[in-house]
Structure 1
């Protein structure tokens, strides 16, 4: 009596057609998922830059509380901002360049985050002022 004996024609693996169908299904899923994931990453970087601007705004407001005026210097780079305001440390300085402008009477300011050209957010500009007016330009549909 022969029990559990496999026939000579039994299949031991996958056919080429089965493998090709699996590869096509994976390719379709990847084609749908990758743009969605890329968009998610862009939006999260923009939201983090917005948070960095709000934090810098709080630093400016703290400065105003102590001096009854905003800083007299308009900063053009993230590095100079970080050196003068050690309590502020942006999380997205690899993606955005932060700058500020202050009016001559030191009673108002505008804080700006501009996407660096080396990122996939090129052209995105975020800003906030002392009245908490916020703008987002060319930022992948993200608004404040």
Structure 2
């Protein structure tokens, strides 16, 4: 989904969206991945402020025990969108900043980048991993005793 900043900034309410991601996902996240949420853009003097909220259920391979598990992934992203590097530098102290010289962004690219930065990599409860790891340890010990 293309986000034309100038057009979205004219909207008076947040825009609902749903996307399915299938490419460039982190190696531990299974495709396809459906995410939904809302986005709003506000024009501020010299830049745009993009708010992106949503959630999805990730099917991940836990990086601790290597078992597949489902994890809820809520996100709330606020980005300042600058037209050039100079403007971006001035905003970096206050915001996370992205440069969009064309005035357009790709929603799927933003979400994929955010997944790489913040997707959960483990079971929510470490005890769930312990049960899997204990089972694997017992199987390994039993094989060596035979």
Q: Which has the higher helix share?
A: 1
- Which one scores higher on RCO, CA 8 angstroms, separation ≥ 6? 2
Q: TM-score, normalised by structure 2?
A: 0.29
Q: Which has the higher strand share?
A: 2
